[in-house]
Amino acid sequence: MNSLLNKEPVKRAEKSIKEFDQNLEIVCLEQTARTAQDAATALGCNVGAIVKSLLFRTGDNFVLCLVSGDKRCSLNKLKKILDEKDVSMAKPDDVKKITGYTIGGVSPVGHLHKVKIYVDTNLERFTTVFAAAGHPNCIFKIEFNQLTKLTSGEIKEITE
């Protein structure tokens, strides 16, 4: 399992995480944490405490939304916040190109390109949350208020 820590995307996520706080650890799980439910089952936590990192496209720009695992991101709310008529989920190729991660392992940090980040208000329900760290089996645990600092994310109500 620890060989996952040697994978480039995981190393990139870890570098950002460690630069922010040396005490934050990446954990490699036996089971996949590809979906929020899988992650919650593997960690024995509430599915809402799992951070889904979802990339959206608006024109030529992208925005990353960090959403509570038990919620759905609202395209209508995003359109209003961004003042854009056309907002859609990014294609898997774009996710890989912009973040450097594959879907299921997208970390909130360590992206190849700088993107604006919104953090869902629903994550505030949890003191501690879990986010992907560059691979579907790798996660890290972080306090909600630390997550917003780590990502420089803006807290917004973005779920339905």
pLDDT by 10-residue block (mean), the chain, 160 residues: 86 97 94 88 95 95 97 97 96 97 96 97 96 96 97 96
Q: Which domain holds residue 11?
A: 2-156
Residue 106 near residue 133, CB atoms below 8 Å: no
| DSSP β-bridge partners for residue 154 | 118
- Strands 154-156 and 116-120 turn out to be parallel
31, 21, 30, 73: which is closest to 52 by C-alpha? 73
Per-residue pLDDT, 33: 82
Asked if residues 68 and 122 have their Cβ atoms less than 8 Å apart, the reply is yes
pLDDT score for 109: 98
Closest CA to 139 of 8, 3, 17, 6: 17
Answering whether pTM is above 0.85, one says yes
Residue 1 is predicted with a pLDDT of 54
- Residue 40 sits in a domain whose CATH number is 3.90.960.10
Q: Are 145 and 131 in contact (CB under 8 A)?
A: no
In the chain, the number of structural domains is 1
